[in-house]
Each structure stands twice: as structure tokens, then as C-alpha cells.
């Protein structure tokens, strides 16, 4: 292919990848692949001395396309030049002192404070113009609502979602098509919401890494002093280390160790900058990069292995997900032998075949991925029948990607996964019903529809004869099923497994339309769209579910079986409008979830992180040196024992 034609192809591919990346949509390529193509384009531009006008080497960020307001930045928000070599970091630093910090994998946000309060928040946008997300930023979990400095302060940082919060939220999205591939995608979509209730539910955090402007400049020539100042103002700042040319490798290795051993922040590398502010300013910028900073991208550790099989795993929605099983290899200190291939499109793109030699790596040193298929035999057959029920499959197309689906409504996999979802803790909370047990009961024909669970008592004697069962275990199981009849309406609604309707959305629906489960059947599209935070797609999923007579019948029967309760907010409660964090073991509540429900019932809110917005930390060990206790004391947050909390609650 001619160099210019290849450049046009690369520009088109990279711009499309950047568009979906910056808008929080589904990825179409890995960071590794993007960097490889970007470097190829750079080489071609150097060798041909031609740079196309829409080349990603010229432009920064994404073009704003949503209905959020737009505003120009006070100074251009440039991206960073990059390297994958420690030697280049040493050469860049020379005999200066520097700061080496995590390169956080979220969304760049610029905040403006006036009078000690947040007055504006902008995304980076295209580097010149960003989107105004002030209302959304105000509900970031750890953002100071007020700061001591009362004049103008503009700072830059990263909005992000931690790995632990990401995994917990994705748990609610059982359909892989609805799950986000990584915390960055979820964060980008959350920050740019038109309704900040959605943002608040997504647990977005903010980590600061630079002062852009301050009405009264700090009397310092050191960037580290700026970070320490931001810390004093109540901001969380990016993890960093002071570094010299001689300590560079040691510092890089320190961060690599932290990431590979479960660092909670999503990170795709490091950033090196000079500590000397005056020297940094003297260097100026290129058209795209500041000259005082450079990004260090991790060299993904690659291993060659052999593909043994592709496991097709059926879900309760009928989606059949491909997972690559390969000969075990060591990556970033752990042994891995499987990686999700996500969908049929990627299977085809990789041209997979059993026995092929493949290169695997951990994206951002965390998530196993196939980088390349060396053999490319392209002999893997897409199953024409479901691996569970044997009925015909179809390849469905959704958002430019192909997915394999079982269309048999009576597929046991759908039933098993549906029952698993129904009995889980946030649903009906029935202990003793593992997936294997449910599969066995379905095979015996005792469970066909969800309401059949409550007729299992009719099979009590037969159950005692089954392997793994006995008189005591059967009695415990039947009691757990009986106890589950006392249920909050939102948990029962969640348990039905309506596509995309997680527990938080179920709570929103029940709050807007309080009543019994049966009363929720007739909600229309218009009714649902009136609920703050309820999107068009979720509303359509809800209406489609209840349009089926079989689902209506099940819900009517369940509604008769359940003793349903509503979370009625108690007026004039001491906890109303207050923010709580719960930590440690509890004595009076069976678990933290029960404690959280009680607080929320009386108008309070429970979050997972202690911030300046937190009113109370609940712990039975108030003198502990735990990180949450330390942070609460530092921020002046009141610490309550469980006994003290109970005295606040109307019980």
C-alpha cells in the first residue's frame, strides 16, 4: 500500500477509536493496539514529511458532540508526549529534580473555585473547548464542597472510578453487552451525564495533579509544594515520588509493583515532570505537547502461548460469550490461562483457531487480553447451536459488534442464570441455592418459573434423598425460602432480572411509584421517563419485559406470595440529609447492607469513602488506626459507634 493511503487509513482508524474512547462508549481496540498504530503513523509522517489535517498527531482529545454546554479553557489543555523507555526518562530529567506520578486512566477535568466553593467544572474536550459538567462534579464522592482559600483557584485533575467500585457496579449488569469494559469507559460516560443523580450513583472520584491558576500565586518554585497545598485544601492528590536521574529506575519499579499488586486506581503509566516551576515555564510547548512533561507508557509484558479451546458460556439473557482458554503463562507476577474475547466480531478479527500460537498480555497490567494471533488459522467455528440446550443460535448485531445468541426462550441456561439472579443477596437473598443446586432442581422439573421456588416444600421428602442434601439442609433451605417472602419491593423488582434494571434503578422506580410489585406492571414508557435518571433504553427494556403475558403472570403470582414492604422515609429523623460511611463488623445489624437500608429508610445516604462531605463514620472500633478512621479525624468527621447510631435512628 502507498504510504499516503496507509496514513489516511491509520488516521481514520485512530480517530474513530479516539472518538469512542473519549466519549465513554465501547472500545474498538486496546490501548496497546492504539499506541502501535499511532507510532506507525508518526513514522510515516516523518518519512514522508506529510501530516494530514485531521491526523490525531495534530489534534488533542475529542470533539464535543453532546448537549452539554461548551466553554473555552483559560489555557490549552495539551496532551503529553510519550515513551516506553526508562532511559528516555533519565535523559529527559538530566541533572534536575523531578516528580514521577501515576498516569491516571480516567477523564481530565478542570475545576474552578471562587469564594471557597466550586463554580465551574470543564472536561478537557478537544483541548481548546470543553464541556461544562459543574453539576456532575459537585457529586464527585471525594470533592471538597468548600475550601479555605476564598479567591480564584483553577486546578486540573482526573475524574475516575476505582477498580473495586467498578467491579461492584458491573456486578449488577449481568448482560455482557451492558457491562463496561474498564473503569475509564464507565467514568467517561458517568461524568458527561445530563442528570447528576446518575453521576452520584457511579461513585466518581477526583484526583488533583496540577494548579493551573491561583489569584495569589503560591510563594514557591516547586510543583511538589503545589500538590501539598492542594492536599491542605482537602483534595486527594495523585500518588507521586520525588525522583532524580539516579533513582529513576527504582521509582518506576516501585510504581510497577504497586500496580501489579492490586492498586485501586486505574492507571496506564506514569508522568514525569520537572519540580522546578520556573524551569518548566521556560521550556514552553510544542503545538501539541508541553516540553516539561512526558508520559511513560508501560511496556505490556507479552507471552507467547497456545490456544487450547474457546469456551462459549451462556447467560440468562441468551447471550453466549466466548472465552479463550490457553496454556498457562506468567504475566505481571500471576499465572493466567484464560481471557475474555468479548464477542464474535473480535473472534473474527483475531482469526482464531484451536492450536494457534497467540500473544497474550495484561491490559494496564490487570486484565488478560489476546494481543495478536500469530498463526491466524481462522478455523474456529462459531457454534450454530447453544452449548446448553442444543437449539439454534443466531449472530445478532448491536452497536457495530456481533454477538452470539440463543433464541430458545426455554433454554435451561436462561432459567438457571435467571434463578441465580433471583436468589442473590440484592434480590430475594435466599441462602443455600447455589448455581449447581438450582441446575439440579431445574433438571428434575421442579423449577420452571420463578414462583415454583415457593412450591419446593412439596418436594421436601424427595429432596432429602438427593446427593448433597439431608434433613437439616432441606429444612434450612425451605426456611430461607419462607423468610424471603418478607421483602422490600425494590429488591423483588430487581430479582426479576429485567435487562439493565439494577438495584439502584429499582429503588428509583419504587420511590417514584410506591406500591406492591403487581402495581408496577402497568407503568408506561411515559411514566418511566418522568423518573430522574431513567434513560430511554432502560425504560424500553422495562416495558418490553412486562409486555409478555408470561412475565405478567409470574409477577402477579409472586406479588400474592410476598409480604411486601416499602422503604418509607421517616420524617424528622436525625439522620435525614446526612452522609454516612460504615466500616468494620457490626453487632446489632446482620451486615452493612441492613445498616445501610435502615439509614436510607430514614433519609440518610451511605457512601463507601470518607470525604469532606461525610457527616458520620460508623464503626465499633473508633480508636482504630484504620485509614478511614484516620481520614475521618483529619477531616473532622464525627465518629459514631453502632450504639450511638441506633440512638440517632427512630427504632
The gap from C-alpha 508 to its chain's centroid, in whole angstroms, comes to: 20
Separation CA 601–CA 614 (nearest Å): 18
Exposure string (b/e) for 26-35, b if CB count within 10 Å is 16 or more?
bbbbbbbbbb
Q: What H or E segment, with its residue span, contains residue 635?
A: helix 627-635
Separation CA 378–CA 348 (nearest Å): 8
CA distances from 584 to 116, 163, 214, 374 (A): 34, 21, 40, 50
Which triple of cell numbers denotes residue 434?
447455589
DSSP letter at 146?
Answer: B
Separation CA 99–CA 248 (nearest Å): 10
Q: Report the half-sphere exposure of 276 (CA within 13 A, side-chain side).
A: 11
List, in order, residues 6 or more apart from 48 with CB less than 8 Å away: 3, 4, 7
Separation CA 257–CA 420 (nearest Å): 37
Could you tell me the sign of the dihedral formed by the alpha carbons of 301, 306, 309, 310, in that order?
positive
List, in order, residues 6 or more apart from 250 with CB less than 8 Å away: none
Separation CA 423–CA 298 (nearest Å): 42
Separation CA 169–CA 191 (nearest Å): 15
Could you tell me the sign of the dihedral formed by the alpha carbons of 411, 413, 416, 422, in that order?
negative
CA distances from 115 to 71, 98, 521 (A): 21, 33, 49
Cβ(111)–Cβ(118) below 8 Å: yes
List, in order, residues 6 or more apart from 81 with CB less than 8 Å away: 286, 289, 293, 294, 295
CA distances from 139 to 26, 47, 206, 511, 580 (A): 24, 48, 10, 21, 15
Could you give the 3-state DSSP secondary structure of residue 212?
strand
Q: Is 103 a catalytic residue?
A: yes
Which one of 82, 84, 103, 507 is the catalytic residue?
103
> Phi then psi for 75, rounded to 5 degrees?
-150, 150
CA distances from 244 to 90, 255, 294, 315, 542 (A): 8, 15, 15, 52, 58
Any idea which residue has 466553593 for its cell?
A: 117
Catalytic residue set:
103
Amino acid at each position: 500500500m502507498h504510504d499516503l493511503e496507509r496514513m489516511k487509513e491509520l488516521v481514520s482508524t485512530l480517530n474513530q477509536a479516539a472518538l469512542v474512547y473519549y466519549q465513554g462508549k465501547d472500545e474498538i481496540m486496546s490501548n496497546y493496539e492504539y499506541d502501535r498504530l499511532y507510532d506507525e503513523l508518526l513514522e510515516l509522517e516523518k518519512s514522508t514529511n506529510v501530516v494530514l489535517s485531521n491526523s490525531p498527531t495534530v489534534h488533542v482529545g475529542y470533539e464535543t458532540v453532546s448537549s452539554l454546554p461548551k466553554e473555552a479553557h483559560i489555557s490549552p489543555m495539551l496532551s503529553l508526549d510519550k515513551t516506553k523507555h526508562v532511559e528516555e526518562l533519565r535523559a529527559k530529567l538530566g541533572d534536575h529534580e523531578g516528580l514521577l506520578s501515576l498516569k491516571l486512566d480516567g477523564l481530565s477535568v478542570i475545576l474552578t473555585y471562587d469564594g471557597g466553593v466550586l463554580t465551574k467544572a470543564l472536561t478537557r474536550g478537544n483541548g481548546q473547548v470543553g464541556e461544562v459538567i459543574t453539576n456532575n462534579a459537585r457529586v464527585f464522592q471525594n470533592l471538597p464542597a468548600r475550601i479555605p482559600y476564598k479567591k480564584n483557584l483553577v486546578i486540573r485533575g482526573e475524574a475516575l472510578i476505582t477498580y473495586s467500585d467498578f467491579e461492584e457496579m458491573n456486578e449488577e449488569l449481568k448482560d455482557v453487552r451492558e457491562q463496561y469494559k474498564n473503569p475509564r469507559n464507565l467514568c467517561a460516560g458517568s461524568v458527561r451525564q445530563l442528570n447528576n443523580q446518575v453521576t452520584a450513583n457511579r461513585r466518581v472520584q477526583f484526583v488533583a495533579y496540577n494548579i493551573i491558576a491561583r489569584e495569589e500565586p503560591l510563594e514557591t518554585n516547586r510543583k511538589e509544594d503545589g500538590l501539598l497545598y492542594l492536599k491542605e485544601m482537602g483534595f486527594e492528590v495523585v500518588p507521586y515520588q520525588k525522583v532524580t536521574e539516579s533513582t529513576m529506575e527504582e521509582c518506576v519499579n516501585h510504581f510497577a509493583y504497586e500496580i501489579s499488586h492490586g492498586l485501586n486506581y486505574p492507571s496506564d503509566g506514569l508522568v514525569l515532570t520537572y519540580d522546578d516551576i520556573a524551569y518548566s515555564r521556560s521550556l514552553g510547548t510544542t503545538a501539541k505537547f508541553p516540553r516539561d512533561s512526558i508520559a511513560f507508557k508501560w511496556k505490556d509484558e507479552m507471552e507467547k502461548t497456545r490456544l487450547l479451546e474457546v469456551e462459549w458460556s451462556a447467560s440468562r439473557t441468551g447471550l453466549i460469550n466466548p472465552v479463550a482458554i490457553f496454556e498457562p503463562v506468567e504475566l505481571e507476577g500471576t499465572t493466567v490461562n484464560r481471557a475474555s474475547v468479548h464477542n464474535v466480531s473480535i473472534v473474527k478479527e483475531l482469526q482464531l483457531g484451536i492450536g494457534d500460537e497467540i500473544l497474550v498480555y495484561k491490559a494496564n497490567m490487570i486484565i488478560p487480553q489476546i494481543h495478536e494471533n500469530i498463526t491466524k488459522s481462522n478455523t474456529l467455528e462459531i457454534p450454530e447451536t447453544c452449548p446448553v440446550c442444543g437449539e439454534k443460535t443466531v449472530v445478532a448485531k448491536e452497536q457495530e459488534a456481533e454477538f452470539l445468541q440463543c433464541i430458545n426462550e426455554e433454554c435451561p441456561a436462561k432459567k438457571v442464570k435467571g434463578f441465580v439472579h433471583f436468589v442473590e443477596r440484592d434480590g430475594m437473598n435466599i441462602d443455600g441455592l447455589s448455581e449447581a443446586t438450582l441446575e439440579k432442581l431445574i433438571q428434575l422439573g421442579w423449577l420452571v418459573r420463578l414462583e415454583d421456588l415457593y412450591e419446593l416444600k412439596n418436594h421436601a421428602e424427595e429432596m432429602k434423598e438427593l446427593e448433597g442434601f439431608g434433613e437439616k439442609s432441606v429444612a434450612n433451605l425451605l426456611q430461607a425460602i419462607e423468610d424471603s417472602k418478607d421483602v422490600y419491593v425494590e429488591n423483588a423488582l430487581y430479582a426479576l432480572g429485567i435487562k439493565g434494571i439494577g438495584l439502584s434503578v429499582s429503588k428509583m422506580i419504587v420511590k417514584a411509584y410506591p406500591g406492591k410489585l403487581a402495581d408496577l406492571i402497568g407503568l408506561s414508557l411515559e411514566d418511566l421517563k418522568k423518573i430522574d435518571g431513567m434513560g430511554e433504553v432502560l425504560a424500553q427494556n422495562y416495558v418490553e419485559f412486562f409486555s409478555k403475558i408470561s412475565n405478567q403472570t409470574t409477577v402477579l403470582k409472586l406479588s400474592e406470595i410476598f409480604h411486601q414492604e416499602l422503604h418509607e422515609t421517616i420524617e424528622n429523623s436525625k439522620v435525614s440529609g446526612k452522609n454516612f460511611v460504615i466500616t468494620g463488623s457490626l453487632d446489632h445489624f446482620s451486615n452493612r447492607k441492613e445498616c445501610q437500608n435502615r439509614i436510607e429508610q430514614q433519609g440518610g445516604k451511605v457512601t463507601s469513602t470518607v470525604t469532606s462531605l461525610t457527616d458520620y463514620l460508623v464503626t465499633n472500633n473508633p480508636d482504630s488506626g484504620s485509614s478511614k478512621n484516620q481520614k475521618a479525624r483529619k477531616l473532622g468527621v464525627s465518629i459514631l459507634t453502632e450504639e450511638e447510631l441506633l440512638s440517632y435512628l427512630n427504632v
